[in-house]
Structure 1
Amino acid sequence: MFIMAGLISCSDDESGKTPVHNPLANPADGPPAGNPGASYPIPAIATPEDVSTPDQVIGNGTPESCTGQLVVDAIAKGGKIIFDCGSEPITITLPETARIFNDASDEVVIDGGGLVTLSGGGVRRILYMNTCDQDLNWTTSHCQDQDHPRLTVQNITFADGNSVSEIEYSGGGAIWARGGRLKVVNCRFFNNICASTGPDLGGGAIRVFDQFQDQPVYIVNSTFGGAEGYGNSGSNGGAISSIGVSWTIINSLFSHNTAVGNGGNPAEAGTPGGGSGGAIYNDGNHMTLSIFGSLIEQNEVNAYGAAIFFVSNNHTGNIVIDQSTIRNNIGGSWYPVYPDISMHADTDIAVTNSEITD
């Protein structure tokens, strides 16, 4: 099945919008960040944060000076964090999950300068933020709806994160976030995994709950997988997964991610559940999934939504797709309107200037 829609386009010089530079493009270092050739305009709120005056600098110019423990300690303190590890790409394996403390700093920016990969070593989650976790110090009783921490990760790669052993806060092999705000710009996510079965957990790379005032998570110029051997994997949402969260995805690439659960949600009799949303798993009530200038291809599922699983339980959520391509995703069923997108038949979906091919 092939569908092409074209109604609306946006100019690159639209007021308040600027292009985003992509520093992660070394072929020897894995697929580059972002959808190649995409130029959808970026709203100012979704551009990289200014780190010209950092609060913390990890390293003193050599690879040896950039240790995993220094990264963990710096993230615990918060603020704007950059790296000085030399002029060559470097992978820093963390000895434990880096945790963001709610009372350390309202703004947390982690900027890898296009050279840094943070690794979980295949045994641990890389980054954890949770405004409702008392171990991270509560700052308000309304923890699910507070404006901080405002976390931005930019110009950095997250690889080999693993949250399989996490029980209470499952999902999110690379990043688990709740509350405050999350923004991802010029990033790559390679070979991150979470639990492989379960009807309502997932996000091989990222899992998100509650954002301040229901504002969206921005994913800009970023790559999840990108080539064979680099994909992320989880029970649902091979790349990203959320409950009650809106996403705005711009100029990004999702490929070779897998939802490996089995039986859907609720789980079919005799199955452990899961297997929906090869790239994206979006569940909740009133929420919006916006996809602009992005490519979603060659993701795979066992249950529903080879590319996207979107279920608005009260039928108030909506999907917006513009200047994007969804193609060659594998498996799944329950496609009432568009191939590769599982949703209720009455979900409000607007597709413009885009191609969707099964």
Structure 2
Amino acid sequence: MVALGVAVTVLSACSPSVPRADPRSAQAPAGGADVDPDAAGEATGQPGGHAAPQASTGLGSPAVSASPTPPAASPGGGVRTGNPVAAVAVPAAGRAVDTSRPTRTVGSGTPASCTSTAVVRAVAAGGLITFDCGPDPVTIEMTATAKVRNANGPQVVLDGGGKVTLSGQGKRRILYMNTCDPLQGWTTSHCQNQDHPQLTVQNLVFANGDATGQRAEGGGGGAIFVRGGRFKVVNSHFVDNRCDPTGADLGGAAIRVLDQHDKQPVYVVDSTFIGGSCANGGALSSIGVSWEVLNSTLRDNKAVGEGANPARAGTRGGGSGGAIYCDGNEFSVRVAGTTIEDNDAKEGGGAIFFVSNNRTGTLRVERSTLRRNPSHGFETHPGIFFQGAGNPSFSSSTIR
């Protein structure tokens, strides 16, 4: 595709600030993007022990509610996720984990056997976790946050088989992993850079998670909070998750990530994010973390804070990254085969907010569509605010 010329305004900012003015003209993407010029808009750790989980099945006791009508069911009965109209190759590191031989199973064949308690126990024990809740979709109402124990694993995989929704009931975060949290056990002397646990969520729905008021480690992560180890999301659906509505650098209505082993990327593959709301990052948020967002859809998410970062006088900050908010120094973001549409930022970056404080970070958008993502304060491209190495790279994409 041929890029259309658009007036250029390069915005300056001090780390990690954003502009105080409200320039609305956009810089033309380089290389193969269609642009509509009328578009709006470290902590330390201590060594510890390591124990392998033991196999078990049938974790659970009564009560679970039958699932309400799940998001868009696929012909096979599971949840349709991701972006069905575009596809890019997924590297081996981003693919689903084989759970055909699970370490443990939540449930014993009935909806009533699949409980919050069972999920919390299984996640703490680690290993490959599947669900046996009967033939129909179910919603498990989480009465406590499931927390990864850092000595258990090294893999922790939650596989819902396309039939399980984990609901925070609008009251709590659903899943938590933090290699630097002493309450979950320190397993190395370098907790912020270790290769385990390796957490994967796949074939699941995360609904109505809410991390409001959870300000440890900067807050955010309405459905999932991760610090350290490795993390990926495959074929999963995130709907109506929340975190605090204000905060200059707080974000991630669905997912918040800090630190990954050797700066390897978080993979988000074949997944959907709808209806998230947070100060920043209505779907995804991170500091100093790289992402590969592949074959996915991010729609109708909102960054609702006010005052940007650092917060303007008289405000509590936030409002950037309607779908994706990324801050830090050296990191990269690749969005490929993905649709980002109808997201909204009260300040900057209706689709993507990207600030690399030392200007080493890179943003690539490939075979993707970004449309109708208004930035009500500032942007450098339609729906994008970017400060990093050079300009973002756009190929075979529509940005408007």
- When normalised by structure 2's length, the TM-score is 0.81
Q: What SS is found at the alignment partner of 1:72?
A: helix
8 Å contact 1:79–1:109 — kept in the other structure? yes
Point out where structure 2 has 5 or more consecutive residues left out of the alignment.
5-27, 34-70
| Residues 1:109 and 2:157 are matched in the alignment | yes
8 Å contact 1:5–1:354 — kept in the other structure? no
| Residues 1:198 and 2:198 are matched in the alignment | no
Partners of 2:151 and 2:264 lie apart in 1 by 21
8 Å contact 1:240–1:279 — kept in the other structure? yes
Partners of 1:152 and 1:292 lie apart in 2 by 20
User: Which of residues 338, 347, 372 in structure 2 aligns to 1:294?
Assistant: 338
Q: What SS is found at the alignment partner of 2:102?
A: coil
Percentage of matched positions with identical amino acids: 52
Partners of 2:74 and 2:153 lie apart in 1 by 36
Highest CA radius of gyration, 1 or 2?
Answer: 2
Q: How does 1:219-258 map to 2 (within 5 A)?
A: 219-225=268-274, 231-258=275-302
8 Å contact 1:332–1:340 — kept in the other structure? no
Q: Which amino acid aligns with 1:180?
A: G
- When normalised by structure 1's length, the TM-score is 0.90
Q: Which amino acid aligns with 1:214?
A: K
Q: How does 1:254-265 map to 2 (within 5 A)?
A: 254-265=298-309
Partners of 2:173 and 2:207 lie apart in 1 by 10
| Residues 1:208 and 2:252 are matched in the alignment | no
Partners of 1:334 and 1:124 lie apart in 2 by 32
8 Å contact 1:203–1:240 — kept in the other structure? yes
**Per the alignment, do residues 83 and 31 of structure 1 end up closer, same or farther by CA in structure 2, a change over 3 Å counting?**
closer
**Per the alignment, do residues 31 and 269 of structure 1 end up closer, same or farther by CA in structure 2, a change over 3 Å counting?**
farther
Per the alignment, residue 26 of structure 1 pairs with 73
Aligned residue pairs, count:
337
1:268-305, CA deviations, whole angstroms, 9 ceiling, x for partnerless residues? 11111000000000001110000000000000111111
Q: What SS is found at the alignment partner of 2:398?
A: strand
8 Å contact 2:32–2:397 — kept in the other structure? no
Higher relative contact order (CA 8 A, sep 6+): 2
Aligned-pair distance for 1:27?
6.8
8 Å contact 2:172–2:209 — kept in the other structure? yes
Partners of 2:196 and 2:286 lie apart in 1 by 19
Q: Which amino acid aligns with 2:358?
A: N
1:83-116, CA deviations, whole angstroms, 9 ceiling, x for partnerless residues? 0101111000111000001001110000000000
8 Å contact 1:5–1:355 — kept in the other structure? no
8 Å contact 2:349–2:374 — kept in the other structure? no
Aligned-pair distance for 1:67?
0.9
**Per the alignment, do residues 143 and 345 of structure 1 end up closer, same or farther by CA in structure 2, a change over 3 Å counting?**
closer
| Residues 1:318 and 2:352 are matched in the alignment | no
Per the alignment, residue 119 of structure 2 pairs with 71
Q: Which moved more, 1:151-160 or 1:346-355?
A: 346-355
Per the alignment, residue 38 of structure 1 pairs with 86
8 Å contact 1:179–1:209 — kept in the other structure? yes
Partners of 2:388 and 2:189 lie apart in 1 by 38
8 Å contact 1:321–1:351 — kept in the other structure? yes
**Per the alignment, do residues 30 and 256 of structure 1 end up closer, same or farther by CA in structure 2, a change over 3 Å counting?**
farther
Point out where structure 1 has 5 or more consecutive residues left out of the alignment.
9-23, 226-230
User: Which of residues 83, 88, 91 in structure 1 aligns to 2:139?
Assistant: 91
**Per the alignment, do residues 32 and 126 of structure 1 end up closer, same or farther by CA in structure 2, a change over 3 Å counting?**
same
Partners of 2:133 and 2:86 lie apart in 1 by 30
Aligned-pair distance for 1:31?
7.6
| Residues 1:125 and 2:173 are matched in the alignment | yes
Partners of 1:120 and 1:328 lie apart in 2 by 29
Partners of 1:30 and 1:191 lie apart in 2 by 19
Partners of 1:140 and 1:5 lie apart in 2 by 44
1:139-190, CA deviations, whole angstroms, 9 ceiling, x for partnerless residues? 0120000000000000001001011021213100000000000000000000
Per the alignment, residue 171 of structure 1 pairs with 220
